[in-house]
Each structure stands twice: as C-alpha cells, then as structure tokens.
Amino acid sequence: MMKSMPEIAGIDLSPILWSHGWIYLAPVENVENAEDNDTNIRFPLILQAGTIVTIVTVSIKPRGKGHIVEIDRRLSLRQQDNLHKILHHMLSLDFPLHEFQAICKLKKATTLLRLAKQGWGRMFRSPTLWEDAVKTLCTTNASWGYTQKMCRNLCDQLGATASSGLKTFPTPEKVIRYGERRLKEKVGMGYRNKSLVMLARRAVSGEVPWLLDFNKIPDASTAEKEIHSWHGFGTYATRHLLVLMGFHEYLPIDREVGTHLGIRKPGDIDSNLDSDHFEDWGKFRFTAYKLTRVAKQEN
C-alpha cells in the first residue's frame, strides 16, 4: 500500500526529469501518462537510519502545479527526514537557478531565461555520487543502448530486491564481492570491470567519503583532481560527474557534444575537445549550453 508524503509544490519536475538520460537508466522506471503527457517515475532506495537498513520504493507523480511523493511502507521520522534530503539532492533543488536567471537578464538571453523560468537547468541525479560515478563510467566508449544494458544488468544481478520487485542499484561492497571476472562476463562491463572494482574499493575504504555521502562534497578543484585520478575517468567522465555534483562551470565534451558544438566531426579524432564555448557564462557554462540545446530541440 502506497503512503503519501508531503508534496513537492510549485515546481514542475518535468524539466528536471528530462534534463538528461538518467531517467532511462536502472533502477529508475518511468511511465509516461498518455492523457496529459506527464511522467511518473518510481525507483527503489536503500535508507539507513543508524543500524536500521530499509529498502523503500519511491513514486513521484504529478499533482496540480506540483508533484506528490508516495512510498510503499511506513517510515520512522528519522527515515522520512533522510528520504527528504535524498530527494532534495536527486532533484537538484539546491541549484541556484535564480542566479542563472539574473545572468540571462543581463545578457538579454530571453530564450534561455524563458526556459529557466520553466524549470530547465536543474539535473536529475542519483541518490549517491557512487551511483552517478558508475553510470558515468558506463557511458564511456559505449552506445546509449549498451549503457542502459550495463546499468540494468548491474541492478538485476547485484541489486537487492524491494517489496515492489524492483532491484536496487548495487552497493560497492556487492561489486567487490562479485569480482572483475563476473562483472566482465556476466554483467557485460568489458574493460570497465577493473575501473568499477577500483572505484568500489575507494568508496568502501572511506578515502572518498563523498561517494556515499553527498553532504561531504568538496570544492570543485579538489573534486576534479580526485576524480581525474580514478582509473577509467578521463576528461569527459571527470567533467560529467562534476556537472552532476552541481559544478556547472565544467563542460563535458564527448563526441556527441563536440559534434553539436561544431568542434568535432565524426571520425576526426584529432579535434580539440577543450574549447572555449560558453566560457563567458562562468559557473553556469554547462547550464547555458544545455538550455541552448533545449531551445534548438524546441525549434
């Protein structure tokens, strides 16, 4: 039986949910509402309050000018507070969208301002940076279909089962126990198996505490240096994760983005990917780029 929690009022979550492809990656499930073109999503979460660990399935559904959150079991007040903080992070509700709107006004960027007022600019994120980092790793040198397959296999084979039947995203401990060989052969991680196990060991060791606790995120330069030292995380993957951490001054340029910007054509492996596009937007460099793409898609 689903239990309602306080609704997320006055915020259109659609631009957040459709900010990028994370809505299509397990363990998230999305169901489009054909009647009003809205989107309902549900996903399992592992909640921890002291020594008590609970798996809960969360559903987010549109209601009026906001959204309502439903859960499939009763939670303690401490667990509810933990869930609120996780959802706040996942929906990037702390992102200073009002600051970006002010810059749009100064630059007379009317189209980007309109989109920002509609709610575009925030990113849909995972409940932990560990999950975001693994999903980012799965996007490297892979088609989107292959990325989806790897994430689905990770959840199906290594995740815990919620009462809803959904599988959670695997913990780093489970990844380590599963081992490189099975990650490569049974999950289909390919050469990423080594990078994934090494990342899991960093998370378990506590040397990078913010992988499992987004409240401990360091400053951008410290995070960039740390992430870039990880096995399998080149410039693109590093910047992609930094954007998901809320540092929009970075522009993760892969082949698709480079082609969109006109700085890299298919097959041109020597093109410079570290361009100066959107640099005049400062800490909102990625925000301006993303909303420019949204505007072009509208047209």
pLDDT tens track for 224-283: 999 999 999 999 999 999 999 999 999 998 666 655 566 555 445 445 555 558 999 999
User: Max Cα separation, the chain?
Assistant: 56
User: What are the residues whose beta carbons fall under 8 Å from the beta carbon of 109, sequence distance 6 or more?
Assistant: 103, 288
168 within some domain: yes
Asked if residue 173 and residue 80 are part of one domain, the reply reads no
Distances (CA, A) of 137 to 134, 262, 275: 5, 25, 23
Asked if residue 199 and residue 82 are part of one domain, the reply reads no
Place of tokens 């100066």: 276
CB 64 within 8 A of CB 8: no
pLDDT tens per residue, range 6-59: 667 778 888 999 899 999 999 999 876 545 556 689 999 999 877 889 999 999
Asked if residue 269 and residue 196 are part of one domain, the reply reads yes
Asked if residue 170 and residue 284 are part of one domain, the reply reads yes
- Residue 172 in tokens: 């780093």
| pLDDT given at position 260 | 52
Question: Domain limits at 55?
Answer: 3-94
104 within some domain: no
Q: Between β-strands 3-8 and 29-33, what pairing exists: parallel, antiparallel or unpaired?
A: unpaired
Check residues 81 and 257 and name the one with the higher pLDDT. Answer: 81
140 within some domain: yes
Mean pLDDT of 67-89: 91
39 within some domain: yes
Query: Of 125, 151, 122, 129, which is closest to residue 139 (Cα–Cα)?
Result: 151
CB 196 within 8 A of CB 175: yes
Query: Of 137, 106, 145, 101, which is closest to residue 119 (Cα–Cα)?
Result: 101
215 within some domain: yes
222 within some domain: yes
Asked if residue 62 and residue 145 are part of one domain, the reply reads no
Asked if residue 79 and residue 35 are part of one domain, the reply reads yes
| pLDDT given at position 253 | 80
| pLDDT given at position 203 | 97
Asked if residue 276 and residue 135 are part of one domain, the reply reads yes
Residue after which a domain boundary falls, among 40, 70, 94: 94
Asked if residue 32 and residue 173 are part of one domain, the reply reads no
Mean pLDDT of 75-93: 93
Residue 257 burial (CB count, 10 A):
21
Asked if residue 259 and residue 156 are part of one domain, the reply reads yes
Asked if residue 290 and residue 145 are part of one domain, the reply reads yes
pLDDT tens per residue, range 165-206: 999 999 999 999 999 999 999 999 999 999 999 999 999 999
Q: What is the CATH number of the domain that holds 217?
A: 1.10.340.30
Q: Please give the tally of structural domains in the chain.
A: 2
Asked if residue 220 and residue 158 are part of one domain, the reply reads yes
| pLDDT given at position 34 | 43
Q: What is the CATH number of the domain that holds 23?
A: 3.30.310
Round to whole Å and give the CA distance between 128 and 200: 13
78 within some domain: yes
Asked if residue 185 and residue 80 are part of one domain, the reply reads no
32 within some domain: yes
pLDDT tens per residue, range 93-150: 999 999 999 999 999 999 999 999 999 999 999 999 999 999 999 999 999 999 999 9
Round to whole Å and give the CA distance between 52 and 195: 30
